[in-house]
A and B are shown apart, each in its own frame.
Chain A
C-alpha cells in the first residue's frame, strides 16, 4: 500500500456517464425546442393559408400597391400638404404618423412639466396644497382616459361660444381666438433679416450655458456661489430683442380674420386636437406626478439633512442634492409614461382627430380594404416608436449605472 500513488482530482476515474436517451437533459431540451418551433410554425402556416384562402374567396387583392394610388378624402388637420384626389395613401400614412407624433410630443412636454410641478406640490409642507395635488392625481388617474377625452371634446371644446362670439385669449390683440370650431392662431411670417435674431438667440444660449458651467465649477472649487439666474434671463431676452429692433423688426403676422361664417388666415387647430392634447397632458401629468413623488421620497432623508447642515438654501438643496439623486428613480417610469402617451394618443379615433389609427386603420381601411397590410403598417409604426423610446431608456440607464458606485 505504500507505493500507492495518492489519488488526485485529475487521475481519478470519472464515474461513467450512462447516456439515457429519454432522460437526458440535452435531448429533452432539443426536443422541446423543436416541438415549440414546429407548433408555432404550423400555427403561422395555418393562419396564413386561411387568410390567403379567405382573401381569394372574397376576391380581395393584396400587396402594397395601394400606397401609390391617390386618396380621395381630405384631412382636417395636416402638417404637410395633401390634396384630395392627388395625394397618395402613402402620404396619408405619413400625415397620420406626423399628427400622432405632433400631438404626443406636445402632450409629453406639457405632462412632464405639469407632472413635476404637481409631484413637488404633493410633497409640499403646506397641508392644503399637498391635499389638492393628491385630489388632482387621484381623480385623473382613476377615471378612464377615453371618458376624459370624450368629455373634453363634447363637454368642453364643442360647447365653446360660436364663431360670432369668439373668445380672444390674447386680450384684445386677436392673435389667439378660441371658439367651438377650434383655436385660431396668428402665424408669424419671417422677414428677410429675421435669421439674425435667431442667431442672436442661439449665441445668447451658448453664453448662458458657459456662464452656468463656470459658476458651478467655481462653486465646486471654492464654495462661492454666483447668482446666474437674473443675468442669464436678461441676456436671453435682451440680446435677441436688441438684434430684432436693430434689423428693423423683420416679422409680420398672418392674422386670423372673420370671413363669412368662419375665420380665414393664420393657423387653425380643430377642437379634437385641443381635447386630445389637454386630456393626454392631464392624465399623464397625474401619472408622472406619482413617479416624481416616489422618486423624491426614495432619496435618503439624511441627504436632505446633511445639505441643510452645511447651510444650503432649500431651493439649492432641491436642485443640487435631492433632484439629481431622485432622477435615476424618476426617469424610467417617466419614459414609460412617454411611451404610454404615444400609445394613448391613438384614442383620437374616438373623437375624430386625424391620427394614424383614425386615418389609416379606419378611414383608409373602410375605403380600400387591405386589412392585413394596413393593420401591419400601423402596428409597425407604433413598434418603431416604442423601440426608439425604450432605446432612449436603455442609454439613460447605462449612463446612470456608470455614475453610480
Chain B
C-alpha cells in the first residue's frame, strides 16, 4: 500500500466547458432556456441592425457623384457619402485658404513630434518636455495658423518655440539612441562631463544663446501669409478651442482647487463661489454670456473678437470642472506627506509644488483625459453661437446647392469621427489608470 508513487499522476484535463468552443458557447450563451431565447432574440436584433446599417452605409451607398440627385439616381436606399467626401476639406479645415492648408498639417505634425517623447521609455526629462509643449507650442502654432506680421514679442516667442522644438527633438534622439539626457550628452561630446557645475552651466547657456541667435536671425526672414480667424473652421477650430481650453484650464483649475482648500477665508469663499456658480449653469449660457456681456465689460473701444470671447468662456467654464478634478486628486494624498514636508521645513508653495502636486497630478491624469473628452464633445456648442466648427460645417453641407437637404450622412460622419477620437482616448485613459495604480504602494 504505497501511497506515494514514484511517478507523477497525469493531470486531469480541464472540464469540457472551460476549454472548448462549444463549452464556452454553452456556458455564456445557452446556459438555460431563458438565456437561449434571450441570445436568439438579441442575435436576431443585432443581425438586422448590422446588416441594415452595412447595406445602407456601404453596399448601397454612393461614394462618387456630382450632386444629391445623382446619388438618388444611383441608389435610393443607400447613403450619399459623395456629399461628405466633396466637403471633406471643409469638415477638417473650414474655409482656411486651400493653398495654405499645409500650415495646419505642419502644426499638427509638430505637435505630435513634440509630444512623442512623452511616450518613449528611454527619453529623459519628461517634465521639461511637457512644460515645453504647454509654454512654447501655442506661440509657434498660433503664428503658423494666423500668420501676418510678427511683433517683437511674437518674434522672441516664436524663436524660443523653435529652439525648444530643436532641443526637444535632439533630446528625443539622444534618449532613444543612447538613453541620455540632452545636456549630459552635449557635455560628454565636448569632454566636459567632469568639469565643475558652473563651467557646465556656462557652456550650456552659451550654446543655447548661439542657437537662439541663429534661429532669431533666421525667423526674421520667415513669414507666412495672414489668415483671419473668421476663415478658421471645421475640426481644426474644434481642436484649437478645446486644446487651448484644456491647456489653460489646468493651471486655472489648480489655482482654484488650492484656493478652495486654503486656510484664508476670503480666498476660500471666493473660489468656492466661483467654482459653484460656473458648475451649476450650462455651458451654452456661459457662451451666450460671453458673446453678449463681454463686450459690455470691456473699456470703450476695446473689442474682443468672437473666437477670443468663446475661448475665454470655455476656459472659465472648464477651469471650474478641472478644479474639482484637482481637488479630488489632492484629497487622495495622505496627510503624512504634508506633515513630512513641514518637518523638513518646506513652506506652503514648496510643499505644494515639490511634494503634493507631482503625486496628485499622477493620479489625476486619467481624469484630465476624461475632461478633455468632455470638452471636445462640448466644443460642438460653439456652432450654436455662429462659429463654423465641425458641427457648423457638417450642418452647412445641407445648405450647399448641390447637396441641398443632405442632413443624415454628414451628422453620422461627424458622430463617427468623434466616436473614434473619444473612444480611443477613453480606452487609453483606462489603460493609464491601470498602469499608474499598478505602481502604487498603498
Interface residues, chain A, with chain B CB atoms under 8 Å away: 29, 32-34, 36-37, 40, 47, 50-51, 53-55, 57, 125-129, 132, 138-139, 141-148, 150-151, 154-155, 159, 339, 343-344, 346-347, 349-350, 357, 361-362, 365, 371-372, 375, 378-379, 382-383, 385-387
Contact = CB atoms under 8 A, between A and B. Distances in A.
A371 B377 contact: no
A383 B39 contact: no
Contacts of B240: none
A29 B263 contact: yes
A125 B300 contact: no
B280 interface: yes
Given A29-B264, A151-B415, A371-B296, A128 B42 contact: yes
Interface of B: 28-29, 31, 35, 38-39, 42-43, 45-46, 263-267, 270, 277, 279-285, 288-289, 292-293, 295-300, 373, 377-378, 380-381, 383-384, 391, 394-395, 398, 407-408, 411-412, 414-415, 418-419, 422-423, 426
B282 A155 contact: no
Per DSSP, chain B at the interface is helix
A379 B281 contact: yes
Contacts, number: 157
Contacts of A127: 28-29
A146 B288 contact: no
B292 A383 contact: no
B366 to A, nearest CB: 14
B407 A154 contact: yes
Per DSSP, chain A at the interface is helix
A383 B320 CA distance: 15
The 3 closest A-B pairs by CB, nearest first: A386-B280, A127-B28, A142-B422
B408 A151 contact: yes
Contacts of A53: 300
A372 to B, nearest CB: 6
B213 to A, nearest CB: 39
B296 A51 contact: yes
Contact of A125 (B31, B284, B398, B407): B31
A158 B144 CA distance: 42
Contact of B297 (A37, A47, A154, A357): A47
A32 B384 contact: no
Given A51-B296, A57-B300, A375-B292, A382 B281 contact: yes
The listed residue with most A CB atoms (<10 A of its CB), out of B267, B288, B383, is: B288
Given A128-B42, A343-B283, 9 more contacts: A34-B266, A36-B264, A50-B297, A54-B298, A144-B391, A151-B412, A155-B411, A346-B285, A375-B288
A50 B407 contact: no
A335 B179 CA distance: 50
Contact of B292 (A32, A37, A125, A365): A365
Contacts of B282: 343-344, 346-347, 357, 382
Contacts of B377: 143-145
Contacts of A155: 407-408, 411-412
Nearest to A384: B280
Given A32-B264, A154-B407, A146 B381 contact: yes
B123 to A, nearest CB: 31
Contact of A357 (B45, B284, B418): B284
